[in-house]
Amino acid sequence: MRFWLSIQIFKAVMSAQRAGEIQIFCRETYAMSFEMPLDGKCFKLFPPVDVIRHNHDISVSVRAKKHCRPAGWSLTLRMVSTVPKPAAPQSASVRELCLQAHRTMLLSRVLEEKLASLYRAGKIHGGVFVGRGQEAVSVSLGIQLRKGDVFAPSIRDMAGRLAFGESVLDAVRTYLGSPLGPMRSRDGNVHRGRPQEGLLPMISHLGSMISVVNGVLFARRMSGAKEVVGATCLGDGGTSTGAFHEGLNQAAVEKLPLVMLVANNFYAYSTSNDRQFACRSLLDKAIGYGVQGVEVDGTNIIACLETIGGAVQRARSGGGPQLVIANVLRLCGHGEHDDASYIDPKLKNSPLGRDCLKVSEEMLLREGWVNEAQLAEWRAEVVQQVESAVATVQREPAPDPYQHDWTAVSSRHLQELHADTSA
Amino acid sequence: MSITYLEAIREAQAKALRDDPRVFIYGEDVGKFGGAFKATKNLQEQFPGRVIDAPISEDAITGFAVGSAIEGMRPIIEMQFADFSTVAFNQIVNQAATLYWRTNVSCPLVVRLPCGGTSGSGPFHSQSLETIYSHYPGLVVMTPATVEDAYSMLLEAVAIDDPVVFCEHKLLYYHLKAEKLPTEALPVGKARLVREGRDMTVVTYSAMVHESLAAAEELASDGWEIEVVDLRSVKPLDTDTVMASVARTGRLLCVGEAWPWGGVTAEVIARVSAEGWGLLDAPPQRLNAKDTPIPYHPNLWAAHRPTARSVADAARRLLRM
């Protein structure tokens, strides 16, 4: 038996003989409860749930209990709460948001293309990790955050970083190892941030930034700050770590305003999702943690802005942790060293393989919000901005190991003084 | 009135909570229950909202402390047993320990590790992990051996702007008593000469200070005068005090409860050998636990870790060299 649940229909009674399967297609975000007032003693639900918080299709089996000869069953689905869809913003503000998002995506794309070319020219030590194809997802988070929020981006979040307020110079200086950058030549590429401005520099161990964001949010709560949001990003592979589990569970227990954005790009480096997890959808994890979950097409900027924006808004207004699964392909390798030959061509040719920047551009033209000439002008401006930042940083001095402060603790009197030959 | 090592740790936390609104305590069962060893007993009641039960998530507990420290809080987190801190290892050594160096933002947090063996605790509730944490740059590692140090060093740990791994010894919790809490203390990073002697230096820390003192007492009846140095903190390591003692005695024995490979005792010997070779009248020696997991049965456990008896034996061998 198939049952569509929509915002208009919130109660239904079904009946059948003996046993059956109900599929519920749920396109909104609800909390639902199941009731079996008639023959509840003889039938049970499988999985044995009575409240489901979901916005995803689910299957529930109704089974007759052993040693029971029931005549039939009936089941009531009762909506216990709803999360109303945010009212459609005024088209003027949607337009402004889309234009701002597009420009940031464009800046991100052009900047990363420049970094990739510097890498190929041997000008960057270590790796370059870009977010080509994932800009719409990333920018939609960064653009919804505001000053005073905290953001711990992952490796494909140049667009989100720029939208949050990171400067192009910070990015270029970190990649080129300039001592004037926020990491002062000590850490590179995606491992950059300014903790005191709410931008946390990731360590490489996936999932381990979640609990750090939780700690920041807890401290803000202790200090009486209101309406603060903490956001962090991962890929599908990051959801397999223990740190992801501990972090999301902790946020749920503490009811923190955390937005956990997962860019599900179907490959963790080269490993496909069927070797990464066995649940039907990553969204199913939201139920397990007792957090709200939503899913979005990561190639569609409007859908991303609306869905991720909704999650940020719910977290800000006291709705607790939010899990967002954005489905999208990365249109690049894991890093610039990787040709991504393992990605299934069928997936590349599917709608998930669309380039979000092109999708956005077509939408802007279709809506008549920009014309070709304006797009060309934007690109020229962005290219100029990136070239100028790179030229500036390339003139900056390299760090001097003989002048460097080799102190790992801030309490100078507690620094170890080794008398070995490296001292 | 007398106060135990454990009560000193509780009193230090109470004082820190009372004196500094930035301090809070986070860990498994630390709230109403007061902690597995009662180190936080009654604190939740006295400081509502600031002594918080955590899920069994050592990794997230530590990450949470790092995040709050970035915001200027002074978290004290309790690992129920030092052994479980290996689950938090990544957050301690990669997140907390690197933050200042990477970002110039300090990370003032205290990780309390109930360390060391007690009879019957077995392989996963007995470990001494000061060695592995000392290996990482960016951490301060404290190993108090006395009630007074447990109190004053914990307070200092909270005041320090860097992540501190505070190794408190479970065997000392209830047995070790002092008349009153100290009002002044040696600064962290300074070792203490706990017994003077001219024939040999024993450098040790934590519960092994007491085993070494008992061994020194035993050897005194044979006419030997053994000097005992309590390192107090193993990182930073007070090489000067050790070197000065070895200069007086010419013989060095290092005693630690951790495993033998590498470690604090090896570090002390390496430094003395490199910087004070000419001071030594005999090859420096060390005594550690055996190189196996920690056994369950009391007979095996007592033989696994150094004791007054085995310290005295090692000292006698060194005195004959």
Compute the distance between CA of residue A3 and CA of residue A24 in angstroms, rounded to an integer: 5
What CATH number is given to the structural domain containing B229? 3.40.50.920
Res A27: pLDDT:
42
Residue in B with minimal Cα distance to A409: B138
Q: Hey, are the CB atoms on B237 and A203 less than 8 Å from each other?
A: no
Minimal CA–CA distance to A295: which of A272, A316, A322, A271?
A322
**Do residues B211 and B167 share a domain?**
no
* Chain mean position to CA B6: 14
> Which domain, by its residues, includes B279?
192-320
Closest CA to B133 of B87, B92, B77, B80: B92
CB contact under 8 A, A215 and B239: no
| pLDDT, position A92 | 78
Q: Do B71 and A215 touch (CB under 8 A)?
A: yes
Nearest to A246 among B57, B75, B94 (CB): B57
Check CB contact under 8 Å for A215 and B75: yes
Closest in A209, A222, A250 to B73, CB measured? A222
CATH code of B13's domain: 3.40.50.970
CATH topology for A2-82 is: Jelly Rolls (2.60.120)
The boundaries of every CATH 2.60.120 domain in chain A are 2-82
**What per-residue confidence (pLDDT) applies to A38?**
46
Judgement on whether residues B172 and B204 belong to the same structural domain of the protein: no
List chain B residues with CB under 8 Å of A191.
102
Give the whole-angstrom CA distance, residue A243 versus residue B241.
42
What's the confidence (pLDDT) of residue A1? 45
Say if residue B112 is in the same domain as residue B253: no
State whether B91 and B233 are in the same domain.
Answer: no
- The domain total for chain B is 2
Give the residue among A327, A356, A295 at the shortest CA–CA distance from A136: A356
Contact A195 B99 (CB under 8 A): yes
Q: Which residues of B touch A414 (CB under 8 A)?
A: 140, 160, 162, 188-189, 236
Measured distance CA(A228)–CA(A235) in Å, rounded: 24
- B57: nearest CA partner in chain A: A246
Partner residue facing A195 (CB), from B70, B101, B237: B70
Question: Can you spell out the DSSP letters for A309-376?
Answer: HHHHHHHHTT---EEEEEE---SS-SSTT---TTS-HHHHTSGGGS-HHHHHHHHHHHHTSS-HHHHH
Calpha distance B12→B25 (Å, rounded): 12
Torsion sign across C-alpha atoms A103, A105, A110, A115: positive
For residue B138, list chain A residues with Cβ-Cβ distance below 8 A: 408-409
Joined together, the tokens standing for residue A377 give: 């002008």
B148 with B232, same domain: the answer is no
User: Quick one: pLDDT at residue B118?
Assistant: 87
Nearest Cβ partner for B95 among A203, A214, A219: A203
Q: Is residue B188 within 8 Å of B161, Cβ to Cβ?
A: no
Residue B185 lies in a domain: no
Is residue B143 domain-resident? yes
- Count other C-beta atoms under 10 Å from residue A33's C-beta: 15
Within 10 Å of residue B43's Cβ, how many Cβ atoms? 21
Angle at A176 between CA A173 and CA A178, to 5 degrees: 55
d(CA A296, CA A264): 10
What secondary structure letter does DSSP report for A194?
Answer: B
CB contact under 8 A, A249 and B237: no
Residue ranges in chain A modelled with pLDDT below 50: 1-13, 15, 26-31, 37-38, 50-57, 80-87, 89, 421, 423
Chain B residues closer than 8 Å to A420 by CB = 274
A368-376 long-range Cβ contacts below 8 angstroms, 24+ apart: A369/A95, A369/A98, A369/A99, A370/A99, A370/A102
Q: What are phi and psi of B257, to 5 degrees?
A: -90, -10
Among the partner residues B66, B73, B271, nearest to A212 by beta-carbon distance: B66
The pLDDT score that the predictor gives to residue A95 is 94
Closest-CA distance of chain B to residue A406, Å = 9
Q: CA of A213, closest CA in chain B: separation in Å?
A: 6
- CB count within 10 Å of CB B300 equals 12
Cα B37 to its chain centre, rounded Å, is: 17
Q: Which of B262, B315, B269, B292 is nearest to B122 (CA)?
A: B292
Sign of CA dihedral A255, A259, A264, A267: negative
8 Å CB contact between B95 and A212: yes
Residue B216 and residue B81 in one domain: no
Domain boundary among B132, B149, B178: B178
Residue in chain B lying closest to A218 (CA): B68
* Mean local confidence (pLDDT), B160-174: 97
Q: Distances from the Cα of A115 to the Cαs of A185, A186, A380, A397, B147, in angstroms?
A: 17, 19, 17, 19, 57
Give B156→chain A minimum CA distance, Å: 12
Residue B71 is nearest to which of A204, A220, A419, comparing CB atoms? A220
Domain assignment present for B184? no
Is B169 part of the annotated catalytic residue set? Answer: no
The 10 Å Cβ neighbour count of residue A182 is 24
Contact status, residue A129 vs residue A334, Cβ threshold 8 Å: yes
Whose CA is closest to A165, among A100, A211, A216?
A: A100
- Cβ separation of B70 and A200 shorter than 8 Å? yes
Residues of B in contact with A250 (CB under 8 A): 54-55, 57, 60-61, 64
Residues B216 and B295 in one domain: yes
CATH code of A95-394, in short, is 3.40.50.970
pLDDT band with cut points at 50, 70 and 90 for residue B132:
very high
State whether B68 and A203 contact (CB < 8 Å): no
Q: What residues does CATH 3.40.50.970 cover in chain A?
A: 95-394
pTM for this structure?
Answer: 0.88
**Would you say how long chain B is, in residues?**
321
Give one DSSP letter per residue of B27-80, joined into a string.
Answer: ETT-STT--TTSTTTTHHHHSTTSEEE--S-HHHHHHHHHHHHHTT-EEEEE-S
ipTM of the complex: 0.96
More confident residue, B60 or A24: B60
Residues B200 and B151 in one domain: no
Query: How far, in Å, CA of B172 to CA of A174, rounded?
Result: 48
Q: Quickly state the pLDDT bin for B1 (edges 50, 70, 90).
A: confident
Instruction: Mark yes or no for CB contact B271/A218 under 8 Å.
Output: no
CB-CB under 8 Å, B75 with A191: no
Model pLDDT, residue A63: 65
Which of A298-302, B1-5, B59-63, B94-98 has the weakest average pLDDT? Answer: B1-5
Residue B48 has pLDDT above 70, yes or no: yes
Sheet arrangement for strand B226-230: B192-195, B226-230, B200-204, B252-255, B285-287
B151 and B78 share one domain? yes
Q: Are residues B248 and B313 in the same domain?
A: yes
Q: Which amino acid is at A351?
A: P
Single out the catalytic residue among B125, B169, B210, B304.
Answer: B125
Q: What is the pLDDT confidence band of residue B167, given thresholds at 50, 70 and 90?
A: very high
**Are B159 and B56 contained in the same domain?**
yes
Residue A264 near residue A235 (C-beta atoms within 8 A) = yes
One-character DSSP codes across B247-316: HHHS-EEEE-SS-SSSHHHHHHHHHHHHHHGGG-SS--EEE---SSPPPSSHHHHHHHS--HHHHHHHHH
pLDDT digits (tens, 9 = 90+) for B153-163: 999 999 999 99
Domain C-terminal end among B149, B178, B207? B178
Claim to verify: residue B216 and residue B240 sit in the same structural domain: yes
For residue B183, tell me if it sits in a domain.
no
B204 Cα to chain A: minimum distance (Å): 18
